[in-house]
Chain A
Amino acid sequence: MDSSVIRPELLTLSREALAVLTPYFWVLAGIVITMLLSVMKVMKPKWPVFFVSVAVCIAAAVASAALAGLPPVSLFADMMISDPFSNFFNVIFLVAMALTALVSLRYLDEEKLQYPEYYVLLLLSTFGMMLMASATNLIVIFIALEIMSLSTYVLVGFRRADRRSNEAAMKYFILGSAASAVMLYGAALLYGTTGSLQLSGILNALKTNAAVMSPAFMLGVWLTAIGFLFKVAAAPFHMWMPDVYEGAPVPITGFMTTGIKAASFAAFVRVFHALGYGHGLSEAIQSHIHDILWVCAVLTMAVGNFVALTQTNLKRMLAYSSIAHSGYLLVGLLAAPGNANGYGPVMLYLAAYSIMNLGAFAVLSILAGRGDSGLNLHDLAGLSQRRPWLAFSLAVFLFSMAGIPPTAGFAAKYLMFYSAVQAGEVSLVVISVLCSAVSVYFYLRVLVYMYMHQPVGAPPAPRWSIWAAGTVGAMTVLTLQLGILPSPIIELVRRISASFA
């Protein structure tokens, strides 16, 4: 493409393009309105900002859901695409955002952190995620990643007076920037060797010109992969995660485990698809990518699960469990080209994981004491007698994370492992299930404290709010429903995956 020619037609949007951009417009409008509201000193902005941010998320989620059935529409000169895949993820991000806002309301009041900027940053981060899932150009992916990450860095450090929160934000920022730089370098190498920043252009170059597959290209693949592996906290790039998760405010931790992970995997899927994985292009690149991911997946599952065994703080434990879940997701990514369900298992897993994690963190934000204290295992002793329904919900989420029927986590795991067996990854699946057997131990330990220990002392009064309680209830129902009747969503992700490839 000759870049010196100005092509004005690229800057005007067709009616069709405008229609598929609705969700993005909603969120952008939300960002602008909440930003304006937060600088207006004439009134207390808490409620208006809260309602606007939740309302735009719901509106955008509804719009995305409505658009999910439409055929793909390419936008802005192929810079991004609106297809069922991106809309599926948009719904996840927007629901995660809305629920995070609901859970945060009371939490921020209690922590004396009720600043309207919180919601603005959440919306910005969500916008970045939506762009990540729909970008089809390496530069746009990078920009989206930065929009998402920069807002999250601030949110992680939102408890300004808390040293752990500051440390977490700093650590996340420095390591995250380094990872972004590595990824950018990878993108530069990919551009240099293939002559295109477009994902479709890269794939085309690979298909038409065998000489593209040079060591420089492979290095580009490596470095790009490292950028993503860092974001999803896959071993050995997971070091930042436990500290960041522990330091961040509880609702933000929940938001990160779902939103950032889902967004990174969405972009990861698109990029890996474009880098020639699973097109039968060349045995060399195929096995090269396969082997990297294989080792990463095994390491990630092992590190996540085994280190989680020793954690006594729930937030840290869930951080390691989140690492482990990234490992399972890598199994799905690895197996995607070789089975009939494609990337469907990865999508279902991310949806299920988001549901149970948002629920679990909603419970934690209700239980947390001042400064996120009271989240150690022994603080949960006897919870089932003090707060039976809260304990029941957390038990459902934990069983779901452990992959025990009848929960969403079980449905997600079996679709994933079933697909991986079809792709011939039997040894990897055996390792995965053994790791998940290990994970049962630390999930059960929480149940032990909640159900089998007697309450000790007077724990902090739970921070009930109708919003947070509603979130917990809805996620519990959804977790069980997806576990008992998973058929509709399995159909959905299979359809989307088929249209994607």
Chain B
Amino acid sequence: MAWFESHWLSTITFLPAAWAFAGLVIPGTSKGAIKNWTLAGSIVTFLVSLKLYGAFDAAGAEFQLLENAEWIPSLAITYRLGIDGISLWLILLTTFLTPMVILASFNSIESRVKEYYFLLLALETGMLGAFVATDIFLFYVFWEMMLIPMYFLIGIWGGKDRIYAATKFFLYTMVGSLLMLVAIFYLAYQHKLQFGVFSTSIVDLYNLQLASGGFWSVQSLLFLAFALAFAIKVPLFPLHTWLPDAHVQAPTAGSVILAGVLLKMGGYGFIRFAFPLFPQAVTYYQVPFMILGTIAIIYGAWVAMVQPDVKKLVAYSSVSHMGYVILGLFSMNAIGATGSVYQMLNHGVSTGGLFLLVGMIYDRRHTRDISQFGGLAKTMPLFAISLMIMTLSSVALPGTNGFIGEFLILLGAWQAVPGLTVIAALGVVFGAVYMLWLVQRMMFGPITRKENEELTDMSWREIAVMLPLIVAVFAMGIYPQFFFNKMEPSVNRFLARSMPTAMAKARPPTTVAVTEH
């Protein structure tokens, strides 16, 4: 037990993969056993990960639950783990969503079941590894390793154009991350030049002084190499084109994980690496990125509005919602940054929920064409309620989680660039338009098609999938302080680091006061 006490993060990270390997002994024909085994594994992982909430002390050191082991000593690459208040929540989001996507896949995946559940658990290990790594090289390894299971999940169990979508997803991510790898090498080498030893530990790299000023400066180029990798993952306009393809083609579980966790990897990358490592470059690129974020918000919303395919609509709404994350982060103040982190969690819950609901209706009707539906509220009341709640969370109704995130982001962005904020705020309106219009077309009105009359409402299994998400929507909307408490010191520390010294002094990070909602 003593080993576990000092290796919580390794335990949580590798538990799903170990569970998956153990599950390989189950013969591929006993599908039920494989499903239950995998579900059990993900629930155990979630329960173990709850331990992190208690173990993490918000007032304590920057990175906690540290682990440090040699990996490739000759290149000074270490196996170094640790979490702060931001990665804590993203880890919990990951472990929280995984059991639900596994449960949601029970009826929709019937072929090659063993491989499917193996890959899902392997994917969870990859995602958790990226969130706990505090060695930048280790982060990169996990970041790349995540691609492999996701690629197969889309490519094998996806829709008609799954191969195109899977390949596009892989190549987009690969191009961005390879340039980041070069930048990582450069940073490690800079550490050698400045401090005499190679290092890829981010705590060490934070101390680097890099030349800044202008596009061709070292800092600017390195920042762009990192930003490209993360902006593709977020995905930021105009690098978002892989996302609708991947989302639409992926099986439900793939879409949920993609929206819920993988996109967060981009935002997390900005927070953990791109901002603190290159503070001057961030200031230099602040406005361009805020403009791109705003374009993503508006553009994503507009394109979502005209989609005939409900899954594609949700996919474009992701582009819009993740635009807020970028807008908030690049506002460079405590309110915006807190809002962004919160919005990442919200988006995982609400868009994840929407994708799950889309998957449920697709399992029944085998179509995602909005015009095929109408009046479903009569035949599927529980489904309609769930969809309504997720929609309200997505359009940021006060009382739901979405409101807190978007409100803080807009508040933060207003302090930075008021003009853009006005435009971005329009995105909230457009968001309400396309989401509510979607609900209206699918749920209300008369039942126009005979097939829709015999639809069965949500099963107990499906209710079990949705209920935790619905609880999370309200919990995060009504009592956000619970989440902020662990997050705040880390966000402030992140900001203090990410601002050029002079600015940080002139404008000390203010604490967020949002309890009065």
Q: Which residues of A contact B (CB under 8 A)?
A: 385, 399, 404-406, 410, 414-415, 417-418, 421-422, 426, 429-430, 433-434, 436-437, 440-441, 444-445, 447-448, 451-452, 486-487, 490-491, 494
Residues of B within 8 A of A440 (CB): 170-171, 174
- What is the chain B residue whose CB lies nearest that of A420? B185
| Residue from the list A399, A421, A445 in contact with B185, Cβ < 8 A | A421
CB distance from A373 to the nearest CB of B (A): 25
Cα distance, A440 to B175, chains bound together (Å): 10
16 more CB-based (< 8 A) A-B contacts, given A426-B186, A437-B175, A448-B155:
A404-B145, A404-B148, A405-B140, A405-B144, A410-B144, A418-B75, A421-B185, A421-B186, A429-B185, A430-B179, A437-B171, A437-B178, A441-B167, A448-B163, A452-B162, A487-B74
Cα distance, A494 to B174, chains bound together (Å): 29
Cα distance, A445 to B112, chains bound together (Å): 20
State whether A406 touches B74 (Cβ < 8 A): no
Scan residues 137-171 of chain B and give those whose CB is less than 8 A from a CB of chain A.
137, 140-141, 144-145, 147-148, 151-152, 155-156, 162-163, 166-167, 170-171
Cα distance, A417 to B272, chains bound together (Å): 24
For the complex, is B189 an interface residue (Cβ under 8 Å from A)?
yes
Interface string of B28-47 (1 = CB under 8 A from A): 00000000000000000000
State whether A452 touches B163 (Cβ < 8 A): yes
State whether A487 touches B178 (Cβ < 8 A): no
Provide 8 A-B residue pairs closer than 8 Å at the C-beta atoms, listed in order of the A residue.
A405-B140, A410-B141, A422-B192, A426-B186, A448-B155, A448-B167, A452-B155, A494-B74
Cα distance, A25 to B434, chains bound together (Å): 79
CB distance from A7 to the nearest CB of B (A): 44
| Residue from the list B72, B155, B179 in contact with A451, Cβ < 8 A | B155
Residues of A within 8 A of B72 (CB): 486-487, 490
Residues of B within 8 A of A434 (CB): 175, 178-179
Residues of B within 8 A of A422 (CB): 185, 189, 192
For the complex, is B208 an interface residue (Cβ under 8 Å from A)?
no
Residues of A within 8 A of B178 (CB): 433-434, 436-437
A487-B72, A487-B73, A490-B74 known; A437+B174 contact, CB < 8 A: yes
CB distance from A174 to the nearest CB of B (A): 39
For the complex, is B203 an interface residue (Cβ under 8 Å from A)?
no
Residues of A within 8 A of B145 (CB): 404-406
- What is the chain A residue whose CB lies nearest that of B114? A388
For the complex, is B514 an interface residue (Cβ under 8 Å from A)?
no
What 7 A-B pairs are tightest by C-beta distance, nearest first?
Answer: A433-B178, A421-B185, A405-B141, A437-B175, A452-B155, A418-B185, A487-B72
- What is the chain B residue whose CB lies nearest that of A453? B163
For the complex, is B71 an interface residue (Cβ under 8 Å from A)?
yes
Residues of B within 8 A of A491 (CB): 74
State whether A415 touches B75 (Cβ < 8 A): yes
CB distance from B221 to the nearest CB of A (A): 9
Of B71, B75, B151, the most chain A CB neighbours within 10 A belong to: B75
Scan residues 50-89 of chain B and give those whose CB is less than 8 A from a CB of chain A.
70-75
State whether B163 touches A417 (Cβ < 8 A): no
Residues of A within 8 A of B74 (CB): 487, 490-491, 494
Cα distance, A337 to B114, chains bound together (Å): 50
CB distance from A426 to the nearest CB of B (A): 7
Interface string of B404-446 (1 = CB under 8 A from A): 0000000000000000000000000000000000000000000
CB distance from A349 to the nearest CB of B (A): 15
For the complex, is B182 an interface residue (Cβ under 8 Å from A)?
yes
State whether A417 touches B170 (Cβ < 8 A): no
A433-B181, A487-B73 known; A451+B175 contact, CB < 8 A: no
State whether A418 touches B163 (Cβ < 8 A): no
State whether A404 touches B144 (Cβ < 8 A): yes
CB distance from A436 to the nearest CB of B (A): 7
Residues of A within 8 A of B148 (CB): 399, 404
| Residue from the list A406, A433, A490 in contact with B179, Cβ < 8 A | A433
For the complex, is B188 an interface residue (Cβ under 8 Å from A)?
yes
CB distance from A346 to the nearest CB of B (A): 16
State whether B167 touches A444 (Cβ < 8 A): yes
CB distance from A21 to the nearest CB of B (A): 32
A406-B141, A437-B171, A437-B174 known; A487+B71 contact, CB < 8 A: yes
- What is the chain B residue whose CB lies nearest that of A427? B182
Residues of A within 8 A of B175 (CB): 434, 437
Cα distance, A448 to B140, chains bound together (Å): 24
Residues of B within 8 A of A399 (CB): 148
- What is the chain B residue whose CB lies nearest that of A435? B178
Cα distance, A444 to B150, chains bound together (Å): 13
- What is the chain A residue whose CB lies nearest that of B140? A405
A406-B141, A406-B145, A448-B163 known; A430+B182 contact, CB < 8 A: yes
Cα distance, A381 to B443, chains bound together (Å): 42
State whether A426 touches B141 (Cβ < 8 A): no
A404-B144, A448-B163 known; A421+B182 contact, CB < 8 A: yes
Scan residues 106-155 of chain B and give those whose CB is less than 8 A from a CB of chain A.
112, 137, 140-141, 144-145, 147-148, 151-152, 155
State whether B171 touches A441 (Cβ < 8 A): yes
State whether B182 touches A414 (Cβ < 8 A): no
State whether B152 touches A418 (Cβ < 8 A): no
Cα distance, A385 to B112, chains bound together (Å): 9
Cα distance, A491 to B179, chains bound together (Å): 26
- What is the chain A residue whose CB lies nearest that of B137? A414
Residues of B within 8 A of A441 (CB): 167, 171
CB distance from B355 to the nearest CB of A (A): 22
- What is the chain B residue whose CB lies nearest that of A487? B72
Residues of A within 8 A of B167 (CB): 441, 444-445, 448
Residues of A within 8 A of B170 (CB): 440, 444
CB distance from B27 to the nearest CB of A (A): 13
State whether B147 touches A433 (Cβ < 8 A): no
Cα distance, A414 to B162, chains bound together (Å): 31
Residues of B within 8 A of A451 (CB): 152, 155-156
- What is the chain B residue whose CB lies nearest that of A405? B141
CB distance from B171 to the nearest CB of A (A): 6
Scan residues 287-324 of chain B and give those whose CB is less than 8 A from a CB of chain A.
none
Cα distance, A415 to B74, chains bound together (Å): 10
Residues of A within 8 A of B73 (CB): 487
Cα distance, A434 to B144, chains bound together (Å): 16
Cα distance, A385 to B71, chains bound together (Å): 36
Cα distance, A437 to B144, chains bound together (Å): 13
Residues of A within 8 A of B151 (CB): 444
- What is the chain A residue whose CB lies nearest that of B72? A487
Residues of B within 8 A of A405 (CB): 140-141, 144-145
CB distance from A430 to the nearest CB of B (A): 6
Cα distance, A156 to B166, chains bound together (Å): 38
| Residue from the list B137, B141, B155, B181 in contact with A417, Cβ < 8 A | B181
Cα distance, A448 to B185, chains bound together (Å): 31
State whether A417 touches B171 (Cβ < 8 A): no
State whether A429 touches B182 (Cβ < 8 A): yes
Interface string of B174-201 (1 = CB under 8 A from A): 1100110110011011001000000000
CB distance from A54 to the nearest CB of B (A): 33
Residues of A within 8 A of B162 (CB): 452
Cα distance, A277 to B131, chains bound together (Å): 44
Residues of B within 8 A of A447 (CB): 155
